[in-house]
Amino acid sequence: MIDYGPGPAANEVEIIVFGPGFGEAIAVHLGEGHWMLVDSCIDPDHNLPASSAYLNAIGVTAGQVKAIVASHWHDDHVRGISRMSEMYPNADFFIPGVFTSEEKAAAFLAAYSGHAAPKLARGAKELFQVMASREIVHAAQERSALLELGANGHTVRVTSLSPSPQAFVQSIAHLAQFLPAKTGVPITHAPELKPNLEAVVVHIDLGHDAILLGSDLEDTGNLGWSALVADNWCGQRPPATVYKIAHHGSKTGHHDLIWTNMLKPAPIVPMTPFNHGRHRLPTAQDKGRIKALAGSAYISSGATKRPDLDTLQLKRLGDVCKGLSRVNAGFGAVRLRKAVTSPNWQVKLFGAAQQL
Amino acid sequence: MYAPSVVSANPKASDKAQMRLFDSEELVKQAEKYLSSINSSLKTIEAPGTLDAVADTTAIGEAPTVDSFTIKRQPALPPVSVLGPAVRPANTLPDTDASPLQIWEGRVLSVDSERHVMEVLLSAKLNKVPDHTGEIDLEWVSEQDADLVRPGAVFYLTLYKRWKRTTVENSQELRFRRMPSWTKRQLQQVQQDTRMLLSKVRAAPTAE
């Protein structure tokens, strides 16, 4: 059980990134007790959404959560988000614009809501449950204003920098393939669009500093990050000193102009790993690149692949399945906190978190 | 509980072809009804209902904790026709007990045709065991299930310990879940839900 200690003071800002190996959640204290939450994964000790377990631990009440953002529908980013939505009913809920402005995309959520196809596209099911239970959800896309409030004498502005209109077209074309067109067609799994062009990148202008949350946005051609960094309006956002790196530090989530145009020199980079079979992020090359660009970088969970099975189970399963490795190497959190008057973030690592 | 296809002992190439398949969840239900009708002493798992029910009661991200269960067979089995042509009868012998060591619910992450393997994510259904990933040779997949092997497909890998008179053998069973087809009612539900979802959407204001 992690002991997080006391929460931030009213005149402090904070970002805490949670991750068990497969999963990511972020909680941000904007000052004066105002919180926003981005994405969700499960804290295994409490079997609760990680951000909720943290807020409970530090005594934050439901009314203090002002906004929840589901940056995209992938299972590792939204597990438990429907539960989180129930726990904070007065928080505005934001979902990627692609799901809410197009009938085909909404139909995708409806099709994979869990009614007809249990356990297929669990992420879609989570978002469906949120939308079904709320009166209103808000669509976030490039240049959307998510939240604006006053704290500690500053105006805090939270905006979304993606998805771009061009990315909408590709995303919807992908989702449309998995819509049930007629009876008699087998229900199939709906894989995630690769590369991820539909994720919501969030910029938090604290007034005295800024934070950039890269979600899982990737880059290809003139979509994704290329579109974002080429956009004048996005480029005019105050540069950030903290960058929750995109797509678990992958090469496809990297763009040089993020580092030169959107971040201050030597930013602090918290991140979560992605452990899913042979596809593990960040790779050794990714780590080298990140360490060269960041002032310091931290990851929420260690990278051990050793199976966590007793001898008999390991032997029996190993007869059928080779290359066994566990998905979650350990739940951890990276927390950055500072006073609004201070330029320096204080880093604290919890659980399995470690410096990159 | 599903009747396990108790294949031969430790894994050999010949064993890999002898996999029990269920063409649909409906056949699975038939099998359960069949088993409970022939064996009044059959013990199901100490958890709500069938395997799928266990799966459906899964809490957020977690497999339910089921400590153990045992399947006991009566010596005489009714004819195969009770189950339908697509389901082969359990290959059991008199005085045979099978105890599952573990039931893994698997999801195919990717398929490598060149290396003839599928990368899988495994979630344990018995006891609190963490999720694992690994690779399974496609030889373990029967011909009847070959068309189901694709990213996102779900299968169940059951590892058994089987007592046969005085000997103990290891056996395993891998079967894919064959999804039903969309029905008219489901499509209508999707349309209804789509309208509901769209009615709740509000565009966030554009930032200055």
Nearest residue in chain A measured CA to CA from B16: A320
Distance in angstroms (rounded) separating the CA atoms of residues B6 and B167: 14
| Distance in Å, alpha carbon of A100 to nearest chain B alpha carbon | 6
Which pLDDT score, from 0 to 100, does residue A101 have?
64
Q: Which two tokens stand for residue A310?
A: 């007793």
Is residue A178 scored above 90 in pLDDT? no
Are B204 and A160 in contact (CB < 8 Å)? yes
| Distance in Å, alpha carbon of A167 to nearest chain B alpha carbon | 17
> Lowest-confidence range among A154-163, A258-267, A343-352, B143-152?
B143-152
Residues of chain B with pLDDT under 70: 1-96
Q: What is the pLDDT of residues B47-82, one digit of tens each?
A: 333 333 333 333 333 333 333 333 333 333 333 333
> In this complex, which of B157, B182, B191 lies closest to A185 when CB atoms are compared?
B182
User: For chain A, what's the residue count?
Assistant: 356
ipTM of the prediction: 0.86
Interface of B with A in 61-120 (CB under 8 A): 61-62, 101-102, 104, 109-110, 117, 119-120
Q: Dihedrals φ, ψ of B94, to 5°? A: -60, 155
> How many other C-beta atoms are found inside a 10 Å radius of the C-beta of residue B52?
18
How far apart are the two ends of chain B, measured CA to CA in Å?
60
B56 touches chain A (CB under 8 A): yes
With contacts defined as CB-CB under 8 Å, which chain B residues touch A97?
203-204
Interface of A with B in 271-290 (CB under 8 A): 275-279
A306 touches chain B (CB under 8 A): no
Distance in angstroms (rounded) separating the CA atoms of residues A332 and A50: 10
Q: What is the pLDDT of residues A19-42, one digit of tens each?
A: 998 899 999 999 999 999 999 999
Sign of CA dihedral B149, B150, B155, B159: positive
Maximum alpha-carbon separation in chain A = 63
Sign of CA dihedral B175, B176, B177, B182: negative
Nearest residue in chain B measured CA to CA from A50: B60
Tell me if A203 sits within 8 A of A156, measured CB to CB: no
Radius of gyration of chain B (CA): 20
Q: Coil, strand, or helix at residue B28?
A: helix
Which pLDDT score, from 0 to 100, does residue A22 have?
86
> How many other C-beta atoms are found inside a 10 Å radius of the C-beta of residue B205?
12
Is residue A72 scored above 60 in pLDDT? yes
Distance in angstroms (rounded) separating the CA atoms of residues B195 and B181: 22
Half-sphere exposure of B53 (CA within 13 A, CB side): 13
Which pLDDT score, from 0 to 100, does residue B40 have?
39
Q: State the average pLDDT over residues A119-131.
A: 83
Distance in angstroms (rounded) separating the CA atoms of residues A236 and A216: 22
B199 touches chain A (CB under 8 A): no
A328: nearest Cα among A290, A286, A276? A276
Q: Coil, strand, or helix at residue A286?
A: helix
> In this complex, which of B132, B159, B189 lies closest to A115 when CB atoms are compared?
B189
Distance in angstroms (rounded) separating the CA atoms of residues B76 and B90: 11
